[in-house]
Structure 1
Amino acid sequence: MTTIAVFGTGRTEVGDDDYTEAQVIGAMLASAGYTVMSGGYSGIMEAVSKGASQKGGHVIGVTTAQFDGKRDGPNEFVKEEIKLPTARERLMYMIDHADGYIVLPGGIGTFAELANIWEMIRVGDMPQKPVICYGAFWRRVAFEFLTSKYVLMDQWTSTRFVETPEQAISILEETLKSPVPPDEQPSL
C-alpha cells in the first residue's frame, strides 16, 4: 500500500484551523486508499491520524523512546506504532518508508523534517518523491528559501505548494501510481 508521511506541529489543538485541515487531509488520504504515517503524537499528528482512522484507513505512528517522559504516548488513533530509539532514527524511518510527503504548518522540528527531505533528494540519497507544502505558512517560509540564488530550480522540482486538501490529494494522485482503481476514486 502507498504510504504518505504527514509532518506538522504537535502544538495545534482541536478546533484550530490547522487541526481541522489536517483531519480533513487524513480522511481524504484514507478514502483514496493511502496509508497515513505521522510522528504519532498530538496536534497535527493526532488530527491526520483521527481523520484517516475515521475513514477506516491504516494509521502508522512513528514515535521515539527519546520522548518518553516528555510527551504522552501515541495518540489514540494510531493503529500501528513503530517506536524507535532516537528522534533521528524516527525521522529517517519516516523519510525512507514514505512514498510522498505532506508538510503542514509547524516549527523548527517540522522545518528540519522538510529540509532533510529536500537534502536527501538533492544529494541523491533517495529518488524524487512528491513533497507537498500545505498552506500560506509554507508559501511564505519555504518558497522564499527555494527561490533564492542558493538553491537550484532542479533541486526542488518535486515540491508543490497547495492551499486546499483537494489540491494535495490531486497532486499525489498525479505523481504516484494511484493505489485505488480510477473507477473507485472518491470525487474531489
Structure 2
Amino acid sequence: MESKSEEKIVTIFGGSKCSEDSVEYREAMDLGRRLAAAGFTICTGGYLGIMEAASRGARDAGGRVFGIVMNQFRSEPNRYLTDKVATNHFYERLQNLITRSVGFVAFKGGMGTVTEISLVWNKLQTGVLERRPLVLIGDCWKNVVECWHQNLVVSRDDISMLHFADTAEQASKIIIERSKVNII
C-alpha cells in the first residue's frame, strides 16, 4: 500500500453483514465522514457492511480510502474505495490493515473482527506497535472485554489500553485528539 509519509491512516474494523438501514452502518458512515473531513485516510477490509459504510462516508467527505482485499474471496470490493490492495492470505491482509495506521476503530462484527482487535491489542501490549488508540464503538464491547477479563488472562492494565465510545462522534474525537498529541 503506497501512502504519503505524513498521511494519517485510521483502520476501521467491523462486520460485513450489517445492512444499510442498521444503526451500525449509519454510525460507520458517520465515522468515515468525520475522520476524512479531519484529514485522515480510511483503511478497511474493503468489502460490505461496516467496511462499505466507513468507505462511503469517507468518500462522501472527499477522503481517500484503502481497501485491503483478499485474492481468495470471491466477492467484489465495495465501490467506494479509492485504492485497492490485494493480498494472498489473512496474515498479509492483517499486516496491511495494521502497520501504517495511527489509530483503529472497531464496530461490532464476527470472529474476523475479534481476530483483528486481538492482534492489534496484542501488538500494543507487547510494544510491537507504538502506542496508538484502539477504540471499540458500541454497547457490546464493554461486556465482551469484561468477559475476557473474568475468564482469560486479561488484566485491568491491558484493558486500560482500550478506548470505548458509544457513537461515531465520540470515536472520532478520541482518534483526532490522540493523533494530535501522540498520546494514548
Question: TM-score scaled by structure 1?
Answer: 0.88
The 3 A distance-change label for structure 1 pair 52 and 133 is same
Distance in 1 separating the partners of 2:116 and 2:146: 16
Matches within 5 A, 1:4-23: 4-23=10-29
Structure 2, gaps ≥5 residues long: 1-6
Distance in 2 separating the partners of 1:4 and 1:54: 17
Distance in 2 separating the partners of 1:149 and 1:44: 28
Considering only aligned residues, what root-mean-square deviation do their CA atoms show, in Å? 1.5
Q: CA deviation at 1:66?
A: 2.1
Aligned residue in 1 for 2:109 = 106
Q: CA deviation at 1:82?
A: 0.7
**2:170 counterpart of 1:162:** no
- Which of residues 24, 27, 34 is equivalent to 1:28? 34
The 3 A distance-change label for structure 1 pair 50 and 144 is same
Distance in 2 separating the partners of 1:62 and 1:37: 7
Q: CA deviation at 1:126?
A: 1.1
Distance in 2 separating the partners of 1:152 and 1:127: 19
CA contact (8 A) 1:8 1:110 kept: yes
Distance in 1 separating the partners of 2:146 and 2:105: 15
- Which of residues 167, 173, 178 is equivalent to 1:175? 178
Q: Deviations over 1:130-151 (max 9, x none)?
A: 0000000112212432466722
Aligned residue in 2 for 1:185 = none
Q: Deviations over 1:147-175 (max 9, x none)?
A: 66722333343311110111111111221
1:34 alignment partner AA: F
Aligned residue in 2 for 1:45 = 51
SS in 2 for 1:160: strand
How high is the sequence identity, in percent, across the aligned residues? 32
Aligned residue in 1 for 2:98 = 95
- Which of residues 54, 72, 85 is equivalent to 1:66? 72
Distance in 2 separating the partners of 1:41 and 1:93: 15
Structure 1, gaps ≥5 residues long: 179-188
Question: TM-score scaled by structure 2?
Answer: 0.89
SS in 1 for 2:72: helix
1:169 alignment partner AA: S
- Runs (4+) of structure 1 exceeding 2 A deviation are 146-150, 152-158
CA contact (8 A) 1:118 1:156 kept: no
CA contact (8 A) 1:27 1:55 kept: yes
Distance in 2 separating the partners of 1:77 and 1:7: 16
